[in-house]
Chains A and B, each alone.
Chain A
């Protein structure tokens, strides 16, 4: 490899056949005289603009061409000519400089063209140089140069993370790896599982219990996840009515009065609430509005008057924490959108309540396709207030533009799987943690199950990882009509 030129914080390096360098790989440009070395990442590989190649291609006979012949090349020079013709231009982003084994983020010097040696930098050395720790290890898989890629769970702690990529590239799979890694280290994780694909986290592929089995709790609303009005705070119910069920302000005020009335009488049940709304002295419109919301609550099946079948969500959370961590999967599969919103409102309000009272240290929240159930005002809440209380969120989506710009700007870790769509690429380029050019260029060519990891966990050295397989019973994968036909193939 030879240094060709430096433009800003980009290096152009000439590489020849046989020096197989991959997009995403790191290079060390060592200036022997200056005794300094630059670290750069290959973000694009292009054909070198070798003069005359066009003529060469135009005249060289290809397989279908009519002109064939023999070359008498006693010196064997042609192979050298072809070698030059196959030269590649590596576009590399400079990440910093090493002097006396110390790393500095200095890009402002020019390595010598003649005195510089360029070689691949192994991910292992990179991690050492960058100070990427393995404190509480989570094994993500392998790097391009087959080194194990282990991240530190501490770097997810207190952070905001995004996992995004196009459909079927392995986002949920990676998310599961993170969840299992976190609970292994004793964390409490809540998953908003839109497609019910985390419900089998405790089962191996063959259906037997795996080592995580005891730590996984699946809560399916209206089945094993029902709550009583009695155990629900008024403000939670109000948020639920106004946000999930769009109850207008005037009606909300009346509802508050009814609730307080029932609370004082000690008759805070669904049954009593229905009767009270019917009897309450108020404008007919207000009554109708309240009534329709009441029926929505009733029919969601999420609330119950039967104390025996009700779940104490707070207790579930605190017990999980006490037992040394675990995952609580909120199975939102097949729920009506308004019911889903209601449950999410409830869960988030409860989490906030518990966390603000210090009944739990912190909770990791994993939210799949959050735009389908998260109300507008929550996005900002999540990155500011909720985070402050100890709710650390990971968003998982295949539509990167559904995640608010604010979230991108503040995300600490971004896991990018393949994208090709220009709009999607544009969306991810808003992330402050990612150098837009790097992210877009690398992510475009990522094969499925490969992930570009950006941010805190890799100390801002973007690293491409082949995510490891998981021995987990899967479901909730992309649905197919011709499933049987597919399986036969």
Chain B
């Protein structure tokens, strides 16, 4: 299984190319912030609210279908490694996890380091980059948006690769099927969904949190009131979203196992409603649910996430491999601006 999944060579090249620009630079290591929370906000779809009529919406009870459908989970993590004089170094790791007869297997890519600078950011994100971030002199600005874009970029590549190479499978994504946010063009996701459909795959996107609210309730709270497994459809509701935002999925609150939590679930809108629900039932029949969350996706998350140990390891790798001079915050200014630089400090 997954023989066909090719690690996108261009991704590796992009990483390597970006890292050529880093040789001999200063690196101000990034230590404290846990990326976990950042990642959520970066990838989270924008807030949508449901008006009060929503409450009449239908609940769909689910019956697990055990038919041997392969389940594949994909997740990606990025973490900031540090800042150089010219830009920011991020590391990305992607994990694809699937079940086999004896348990689970994973395919992991990375850590891939990326040095993103004013000069090379267009190569990554095209022309639509907001000029206020990655300003070489604003050292304290941590650009959540750049990070989100990078994460998206890699995630989409992996997702595309999996959609092309497997068939008749259920592919689980972390996040939503919302497009139109910066670095997340509609066309890209549409293409991946189309490729998946061609191979008779179904894509289900699970969000761990959701900001869709109605009358002060998070939509995920509705589903929790009903006997699992069940889906609570939100997609039909008049959702007030911004014009740019495209919901490429039908949105559900999914309460999939007893004692578990409910999650926002996006299902490819171009599938019929019945096909979508059937995909969830096949997921239930062929996958372990851990507290209402699919195990492959949970593992993909665990295998891609960075620990503090990873970050230190990557920093020391960069130092060794690229001759980066690791310095603390104060001395980078001195190194750059001499004693006069100090007045910029807080």
Residues of A with Cβ closer than 8 Å to B?
Answer: 50-53, 55-56, 59, 66-75, 77-78, 80-85
Q: What is the CA–CA distance of A74 and B13 in the complex, to the nearest angstrom?
A: 10
Q: Say yes or no for B289: interface residue by CB 8 A criterion.
A: no
Would you call B313 and A85 a contact (CB within 8 A)? Answer: yes
Complex partner residue of B103 from A55, A66, A75, A85, CB under 8 angstroms: A66
Would you call A75 and B113 a contact (CB within 8 A)? Answer: yes
Q: What is the CA–CA distance of A51 and B310 in the complex, to the nearest angstrom?
A: 9
Q: What is the CA–CA distance of A83 and B103 in the complex, to the nearest angstrom?
A: 29
Q: Say yes or no for B142: interface residue by CB 8 A criterion.
A: no
Residues of B within 8 A of A51 (CB): 307-309, 312
Among B168-176, B219-227, B236-244, B316-324, the one that faces the other chain is: B316-324
Complex partner residue of B108 from A66, A69, A75, A85, CB under 8 angstroms: A69
Would you call A77 and B309 a contact (CB within 8 A)? Answer: no
- Closest beta carbon of chain B to A301's beta carbon, Å: 74
Would you call B313 and A83 a contact (CB within 8 A)? Answer: yes
Residues of B with Cβ closer than 8 Å to A?
Answer: 7, 12, 15-16, 91, 97, 102-113, 299, 302-303, 307-314, 316-317, 320-321
Would you call B108 and A52 a contact (CB within 8 A)? Answer: no
Q: What is the CA–CA distance of A82 and B309 in the complex, to the nearest angstrom?
A: 9
Residues of B within 8 A of A50 (CB): 308-309, 312
Q: Given A74-B12, A77-B317, A81-B314, A53 and B109 touching (CB < 8 A)?
A: no
Residues of A within 8 A of B302 (CB): 59
Complex partner residue of B105 from A55, A67, A83, CB under 8 angstroms: A67
Q: Given A74-B12, A74-B112, A81 and B106 touching (CB < 8 A)?
A: no
Would you call A67 and B308 a contact (CB within 8 A)? Answer: no
Closest to B100 in A: A68
Would you call B102 and A66 a contact (CB within 8 A)? Answer: yes
- Closest beta carbon of chain B to A71's beta carbon, Å: 5
Q: Given A59-B302, A59-B303, A80-B316, A70 and B108 touching (CB < 8 A)?
A: yes
Residues of B within 8 A of A67 (CB): 97, 103-106, 299
Scoring A50, A55, A69, A73 by chain B CB atoms within 10 A of each residue's CB, the highest score goes to A69
Q: What is the CA–CA distance of A70 and B6 in the complex, to the nearest angstrom?
A: 13
Residues of A within 8 A of B109 (CB): 71-73
Residues of B within 8 A of A74 (CB): 12, 15-16, 112
Q: Given A66-B104, A72-B107, A52 and B308 touching (CB < 8 A)?
A: yes
The 3 closest A-B pairs by CB, nearest first: A66-B103, A52-B307, A81-B313
Complex partner residue of A80 from B7, B104, B320, CB under 8 angstroms: B320
Would you call B309 and A53 a contact (CB within 8 A)? Answer: yes
Q: What are 8 of the A-B contact pairs (CB < 8 Å)?
A: A50-B312, A53-B307, A68-B103, A68-B105, A69-B104, A69-B108, A72-B7, A72-B108
Q: What is the CA–CA distance of A74 and B97 in the complex, to the nearest angstrom?
A: 19
Q: What is the CA–CA distance of A52 and B79 in the complex, to the nearest angstrom?
A: 14
Would you call A75 and B299 a contact (CB within 8 A)? Answer: no
Would you call A52 and B321 a contact (CB within 8 A)? Answer: no
Would you call A75 and B112 a contact (CB within 8 A)? Answer: yes
Scoring B91, B97, B112, B313 by chain A CB atoms within 10 A of each residue's CB, the highest score goes to B313
Complex partner residue of A75 from B111, B307, B309, CB under 8 angstroms: B111
Q: What is the CA–CA distance of A80 and B310 in the complex, to the nearest angstrom?
A: 9
Closest to B19 in A: A75
- Closest beta carbon of chain A to B8's beta carbon, Å: 10
Complex partner residue of B316 from A52, A73, A84, CB under 8 angstroms: A84
Would you call A56 and B112 a contact (CB within 8 A)? Answer: no
Residues of B within 8 A of A78 (CB): 111, 313
Q: What is the CA–CA distance of A279 and B157 in the complex, to the nearest angstrom?
A: 116
Add 18 more A-B contacts to A51-B309, A84-B312 (CB < 8 A).
Answer: A51-B312, A52-B311, A53-B309, A56-B309, A59-B303, A69-B97, A69-B104, A69-B303, A70-B108, A73-B108, A74-B15, A75-B321, A80-B313, A80-B316, A81-B314, A82-B313, A85-B309, A85-B313
Q: What is the CA–CA distance of A68 and B104 in the complex, to the nearest angstrom?
A: 7
Residues of A within 8 A of B110 (CB): 72-73, 77
Closest to B91 in A: A77
Complex partner residue of B307 from A56, A69, A82, CB under 8 angstroms: A56
- Closest beta carbon of chain A to B209's beta carbon, Å: 21
- Closest beta carbon of chain A to B139's beta carbon, Å: 22
Would you call A81 and B105 a contact (CB within 8 A)? Answer: no
- Closest beta carbon of chain B to A196's beta carbon, Å: 59
Closest to A67 in B: B104
- Closest beta carbon of chain A to B96's beta carbon, Å: 9
Would you call B105 and A52 a contact (CB within 8 A)? Answer: no
- Closest beta carbon of chain A to B97's beta carbon, Å: 8
Q: Given A80-B314, A85-B313, A69 and B102 touching (CB < 8 A)?
A: no
- Closest beta carbon of chain B to A436's beta carbon, Å: 34
- Closest beta carbon of chain A to B146's beta carbon, Å: 21
Residues of B within 8 A of A55 (CB): 307, 309
Scoring B15, B308, B321 by chain A CB atoms within 10 A of each residue's CB, the highest score goes to B308
Q: What is the CA–CA distance of A56 and B321 in the complex, to the nearest angstrom?
A: 23
- Closest beta carbon of chain A to B313's beta carbon, Å: 3
Scoring A52, A66, A75 by chain B CB atoms within 10 A of each residue's CB, the highest score goes to A75
Q: What is the CA–CA distance of A269 and B309 in the complex, to the nearest angstrom?
A: 86
Residues of B within 8 A of A69 (CB): 97, 104-108, 303
Residues of A within 8 A of B316 (CB): 80, 84
Complex partner residue of A52 from B111, B113, B309, B317, CB under 8 angstroms: B309
- Closest beta carbon of chain A to B114's beta carbon, Å: 11
Residues of B within 8 A of A66 (CB): 102-104
Would you call A70 and B107 a contact (CB within 8 A)? Answer: yes
Q: What is the CA–CA distance of A73 and B94 in the complex, to the nearest angstrom?
A: 11
Closest to B303 in A: A59
Q: What is the CA–CA distance of A70 and B2 in the complex, to the nearest angstrom?
A: 12
- Closest beta carbon of chain A to B254's beta carbon, Å: 24
- Closest beta carbon of chain A to B105's beta carbon, Å: 5
Q: What is the CA–CA distance of A77 and B111 in the complex, to the nearest angstrom?
A: 7
Complex partner residue of A71 from B108, B299, B309, CB under 8 angstroms: B108
Residues of B within 8 A of A52 (CB): 307-312
